[in-house]
Amino acid sequence: MKILLFTILTFNLLYGGKFSLIDDIIIFGKELLSVKKTTTVAIAGTSTGSSATTQREEITLQPTWYEQFQFAGYYMAQKNGYYKDKNLKLTILPYTEGMNSANEVVNNHAMYGIGDSSLVKEIIKGKNIFLLKAILQESPLVIFSLDEELENSINKRIILPKTVSKSIILKAILRTHGTQIEDFKVVYHSTKHIKDLITKNSDFIVGYRSNEEIILKEKNIKFKIFSYKQAGLKFYSDILFTSTKEFQENPDRVANFTKATMDGWRYAFNHIEETAKFIYQNHNEQGKSLSSLIAEGKILKKIAIEPSSSFGEISAEKLLKIATAYHFYFDDINNTKTISDYKEHIYLGAYVELKVKKYKYNLFLVFIFLLFLSIVSLIYWSFWLKKRVAEKNALLIDADKRVKIGTHIDYISHQLKSPLNSIYSITNNLKRDIDISNDNPTLMLWKSKLTEIENKSLIMTKTVNFFLKYFSQEHKKEYFSINETIENSINYIDIQNVTIEFENKEDFVYLGYEILLLQVFQTILENGIQALASKKDNRLITISIDEESDDSIVIVISDNGKGIPIKYLKKIFAPYFSTKKHANVKGLGLHIAKIIIEDKFHGTISAYNENGATFKIVLIPIKLGYS
């Protein structure tokens, strides 16, 4: 039975959990594995709305700011009927300046609230706070200036909301730059704070990358950002929470509300433009433009998705680190709680009672159905494994080469890094000595030369680090600029007598494996350069990058050569296929490129002729699953 249950789970995963019968069989199988028929089965993370009552349960939510995309998940859960499906009716309470959502929930003025990492401080102080989901895995709170540096903060003017005046994030940013809030002339938040920064009525403002940064960019104003990340810290933001009492007395309601809310957020992040339009028309008390709301949604989506954790996840280990940071930055906060203590304040899933007697499936029919699925699964996996073995063999050949080269690069980098660091340090010290001296023209000339040496050493260090990363056996998902990756692929190949034109209009940031994408770009460019070798002059490769209406990113690389022969077009990505008849050509480059785009980026790559050979890569937008 356990083997059959595993088979059905596998089948359900393959087909996206679309079959309600399969879901019921899974639950039924779990019941059969229980010791007694009357044993209650606990299924984490599932709950259904009560169908016995017609009156929907009314619940209230206290936000931390005025209407904007920051609360899109709640708006879309209302609009799409997710709360209604769970027999809930949500009222989002209005925000007033200086309001503390934790106090509102603890004092029963609201049933649920939205907060930031300061909720950890409330837990340390003994408040009955229960954390449900962290929508943002890091805080977008930063400090902005036009040209001022935080290190020169004495008597400088800073505008900030009252709610963040004692924020640990603000303290971390200031401490990292050797200053504190007492050094500034503080003015509390006004609706004109952006204007005050632009007109230099304020030297700094405290704001959010999802708000003020968008406004400054729309106005084409250059600015500086100071973030807490430089302190090596990570803080949650937009945490959905309730009281411990609410969770203990109404676990089903908590489960239903959490599930519907997370479905709302997944919908919002997967349909940013549609969501932004709805907010623009229905929840726009700040009068934001539609483009600002769309930009806000894209920024928040990047902050919400973290490769190392699931969407909305709250970790007790991370809470402990935040608590330790509070203890470090605030003398009056002494954390005595352990990881186990924090786990008691984190929602791990709903517990729903299921009885075997609810399921009236005939056991024999269920067994036959599972047996049939087992056979289908075995056939599917045999074909799948055969295909994957061929692909893995191709990748292993490429990986072996990279490991050998990587070993040499590692040795060379070890030999280069020490002298490069010494050069950088020496030039820095000499420049400092020159600054102490008078404005001697000769010394100033030397200073400019030292700056040039310093810059060159930094470029060399960056190059060494790049090659180390490129030949590393471990690749991690990270946010990177696709535009920069394209430029790097051009810089690190021999372009010979070919002109490469890159239409670089807008910077596209993506979450994925940068080095693998760079390998794809290099493969296509090298093929294009070889295809143009027989052309006497006007050898040209063009690269364009654009965004489609569904947020997918399209990269098109074209050359003005003879194109790919029609008979080869369907075979161009096949393993061991090449149009070049050389003994040392293995015909794996484009095949590996296809595997990378499809398996690592879940995108598509195609080839066609249009005034020469053209390769089109489509990277799908980052979407949130429902697992």
Domains of the chain, start order: 52-138+235-343 (3.40.190.10), 141-231 (3.40.190.10), 395-470 (1.10.287), 478-619 (3.30.565.10)
Long-range pairs for 9-17: beta carbons < 8 A, 24 or more residues apart: 10/377, 11/373, 11/376, 11/377, 14/380, 17/626
> pLDDT of 198-241, one tens digit each?
999 999 999 888 988 999 999 999 999 998 876 667 889 999 99
Residue-wise pLDDT tens digits, 187-205? 887 556 788 899 999 999 9
Instruction: Tell me the CA distances in angstroms from 465 to 458, 460, 617, one per residue in order.
Output: 11, 9, 27
Measured at the CA of 604, the angle between CA 503 and CA 19, to 5 degrees, comes to 140
pLDDT (tens digit, 9 = 90+) per residue, 518-566?
A: 889 988 998 899 889 888 888 999 999 988 877 788 999 999 998 988 8
Tell me the residue type at 302. K
Select from 121, 397, 347 the least CA-distant residue to 235.
Answer: 121
Closest by Cα among 63, 58, 59 to 111:
59
Residue 213: name the closest of 130, 123, 143 by CA: 143
Tell me the residue length of the chain.
Answer: 627
Q: What percent of the chain has pLDDT over 90?
A: 32
pLDDT at position 86, please? Answer: 94
So what's the pLDDT on residue 169?
A: 87
Instruction: Give the residue from 272, 279, 317, 112 showing the smallest Cα distance to 624.
Output: 272
Query: What is the Cα–Cα distance from 75 to 67, expressed in whole angstroms?
Result: 10
Q: Residue 97 is inside which H or E element, if any?
A: none
Q: Which residues of 175-188 are buried (b: 16+ CB within 10 A; e: fewer)?
A: ebbebebebbeeee
Q: Which residues pair with 542 in a beta bridge?
A: 501, 558
Concatenated DSSP letters of 324-346: HHHHHH-TT------HHHHHTTB
List the beta bridge partners of residue 57: 88
The reported pTM is 0.54
